[in-house]
Amino acid sequence: MSIAVVTDSTSDLPEELAKQHGITVIPLYVHFGEDAYRDGIDIKADEFYARLQSEKVFPTTSAPSAGAFIELYRELSKDHEGIVSLHLSSKVSATYAAAFQAANEVKAEGIDVEVVDTLQASMALGLVAIGAADAAKSGASLTEVTELSKSLSARATFTGLVETLEYLQKGGRIGKAQALLGSLLRIKPILALIDGEAHGIERARTRSRGIERIKTLVAEAAPLQSLCVLYTTDPDIAGEIASDLAEHAPDGKPLIAQLGPVVGTYLGPGMLGFGMVRAAQD
């Protein structure tokens, strides 16, 4: 019996990676009007971005219910002695709260669940889940996997160069990036999740300069434990960035992942960025 690792679809973990590492992903929902879609299941990223740009109604998102988590935890408990559940920042989503409520309910049934608010999103969360799952596969205990998850979360960073703050503003997730709104004519904002909220950390005058700057941010953070280049609608450019950053990935091969519908709702088409985890200090 081992420790199960759960995360949610805002981790943007590619399906094959989640399977490879034995990570269970619970979906959030994206809504176009009255139609609800499970993130990454009922609607894939490319279809979503096409609709995001063509439909007049701005989509909304919602968290899984506590009941969905209870059902999942009960199922996983049949083959695992404990569960570590890693989720999107509680400051931008109700997902963590739903998972926490569910964990408290199933503990009365003898199911051991630890829920961690990573204060992260996208593949910054995904990389934390991968690290936790690898430790679980190696025989780490529930406490050890939980503590490692917290350490990885504290060393993780999610940063993105966006075309506009329009999507964050419309979606009500503008956070501390609100301060940039008045000065964005022909300026590309660089955002980061800091303490679980979106902050505008820099402004680039052109997209090309912004791309060079996010590469520099990765280099400045080295040495890294893991690195993933992120995109919404520009896979070719993401591939070029990954090649340029190869020296900073531990194995020389940064992961590349596409933001799914839920995170993409707020960052929009044209976003480029990265998720990374800094190496632990001795």
Residues of the chain with CATH 3.40.50.10170: 2-153
pLDDT in tens, 34-43: 999 999 999 9
* CATH match of 156-278 with 3.30.710.10: no
pTM of this prediction? 0.94
Which of 65, 143, 142 is CA-nearest to residue 101? 65
- How far is 57 from 62, CA to CA, in rounded Å? 16
If one compares 208 and 56, the residue with the highest pLDDT of the two is: 208
Residues of the chain with CATH 3.30.1180.10: 156-278
CATH topology of domain 2-153: Rossmann fold (3.40.50)
Give residue 166's pLDDT. Answer: 78
Using alpha carbons only, what angle is made at residue 8 by residues 75 and 266, rounded to the nearest 5 degrees?
155
Residue 29's beta-bridge partner residues?
Answer: 38, 62
Give residue 11's pLDDT. Answer: 98
The HSE-up count of residue 247 (CA atoms within 13 Å, CB side) is 6
- How far is 201 from 76, CA to CA, in rounded Å? 40
Residue 240's beta-bridge partner residues?
Answer: none
Q: State mean pLDDT over 152-177.
A: 78
- How far is 243 from 124, CA to CA, in rounded Å? 19
